[in-house]
Amino acid sequence: MEAINASISFDQRLAAQDIAGSRAHAAMLAATGIVEPSDAEAMREGLLTVLSEIETGYFAFSTALEDIHMNVEARLKEVIGDAAGRLHTGRSRNDQVATDFRLWVRDQLDALDGALDALIRALLDQAEAGADWVMPGFTHLQTAQPVTWGHHMMAYVEMFARDRSRFADARARMNESPLGAAALAGTSFPIDRQMTADALGFDRPMANSLDAVSARDFALEFLGAASICAMHLSRMAEELVIWSSAQFRFVTLSDRFSTGSSIMPQKKNPDAAELIRAKIGRIFGANVALMMVMKGLPLAYSKDMQEDKEQVFDAADNLMLALAAMTGMVSDMQGNRAALEVAAGSGFSTATDLADWLVRVLGLPFRDAHHVTGSLVALAEAKGVDLPDLTLDEMTSVHDGITALVYDVLGVHNSVASRTSYGGTAPSQVRAQMARWRKILG
C-alpha cells in the first residue's frame, strides 16, 4: 500500500511551489486573525529553512509521509514546533496540490515562452542570411515551385509563434487560484482567497470550490499545446534529417549536434534531430495518458489524480530539451546555397510560372494553359532536358503564340521574385515579414 500510495518520488518537484503556497496561506491566516501573527511568522520563516534544506540536498524525503505536502509539514514541525500544526487551517491537501500543480505548470509555460523566443530568433537569423537563396518548394516531397530559403525558415517562425501564443492563452486561462477551496466545499474559516491569489500571482480565486480541486484541464491544455508544438518540432527535425543527407546536401549540421559512426568514418549522423523526432511520442503519450486518467472521474477529487503529474513532468522536460536542441541546430547549421539552387531548378519547378505566363500574356484560360504546359513538360521530359532548355521552335510547336519573352519567367530567380503577393516567397516579401517579426519580438 505504501508503494502504490506514495507520490513523493515524483511530486517532490513541487517543493518550491508547495512552500510558496504555504507561506502565502500563513500570511493570510494572520491577516484575517485566524492564527497569531507570531505563529504565522514562525511558519513562514520555518518554511524558508525547509526550502533551503531541499534545495541544498539535505532534506530526507520519506515515503511513509506519502507526498511533498506531508513531508514539508512534518519537517516544519521539527523546525518550529507545535505552531506548524496551525498551517493547515482552512485548507486541504486537495486544494493545496491543485495550487502547487498550477504554479508548476505556470512556471513551465514561462520557461517555454523563453525557449520559443530563442528558437524564433534563430530562425529569423537563418532567414535573414538566405532571404534570396532559391530552393525547391515541395508538395508530396516532390518538387513543386521554387521558393526562397528565407521563406522556408519564416514558415517555421509562424508555426512556433502560434505555439507561443497557445501557451500564452493557456497561461491566461489557468491563472486562477484553487487555494482556499479546501477539500471540495470551501471552509467555514473567514479566509481571504483574493489575498492568497494576489500573493501567488494569480489573477483571481477560482469561483467554484468543487471545480477548483477537481479540474485538471489546465494541465491538459498545457499538454495539448505542447503536443502541437512538439509536432512542429518533429516536422522540422524530419526536414533536417532529409536535408542533411548525401542525397540532398541542403544543409550541414555542426559537429555539436551530430555524431559519427562506430565503424563508418564518413558518417555524420543527425542524431539530435532524430532524437527530437522520437521524443515527441512521449509528449503525445502524456496527453493521451492524462485524458485517460480524467475521463471517468466524478467530482470532486479522486486518488486517480495522483497520476496527473508524472505525465506532465515528463512532457515538459522533453519539450524543453527538444526546443533547446532544435535552437542549437538551427543556430549552427549551414545552408548549402549552391545545392539548394541546383535543386530549385530541377523537376520542372517553373511549370506553374509558364502556365501563369500563358494566361497573363497570351490570354489563355488557365485550364488551357495548364494543358499546354503539361505538353511542354512532357516534351522536355522526353528530350531529357528542363523547360528552360527547350528551344523556341520546340515551344511554338506546342503553341504558336509563345514568344522568346517566356524565357524571362523560366529562371528560378525570376520565379521567386515574381511571387510578391502578401506572404509570398519573393525576397522583398520575406524581408518585410522578417522586419515585422523583429519589431514584434523587440
Kindly list the catalytic residues. 140, 261
Grid coordinates of 46? 520555518
Cell numbers at residue 38, please? 507570531
What count of residues does the chain have? 442
Q: Is 136 helix (H, G, I), strand (E, B) or coil?
A: strand
Phi/psi of residue 206, each to 5°?
-65, 145
- The alpha-helical segments, DSSP class H, found in 345-426 are 351-362, 366-383, 392-396, 407-410, 412-418
| Listed residue (315, 275, 272, 63) closest to 167, CA to CA | 315
148, amino acid identity: T
Q: Kindly state the DSSP code that residue 239 receives in the 8-state scheme.
A: H
3-state secondary structure of 401: coil
Q: How many CA atoms lie within 13 A of 269 on its CB side?
A: 11
Looking only at the bridges linking them, the beta strands covering 204-205 and 176-177 are parallel
Q: Determine the Cα–Cα distance for residues 134 and 24; give it in Å rounded to an integer.
A: 58
Phi, psi of 134 (to 5 degrees): -95, 145
Q: Which residues of 258-282 are buried (b: 16+ CB within 10 A; e: fewer)?
A: beeeeeeeeebebebbeebbebbeb
Helix (H) or strand (E) holding 207: none
Q: Are 375 and 387 in contact (CB under 8 A)?
A: no
Give the C-alpha separation, 56 to 231, whole Å.
Answer: 37
Q: What are phi and psi of 370, to 5 degrees?
A: -60, -40
Give me the sign of the Cα torsion angle 241, 247, 252, 255.
Answer: positive
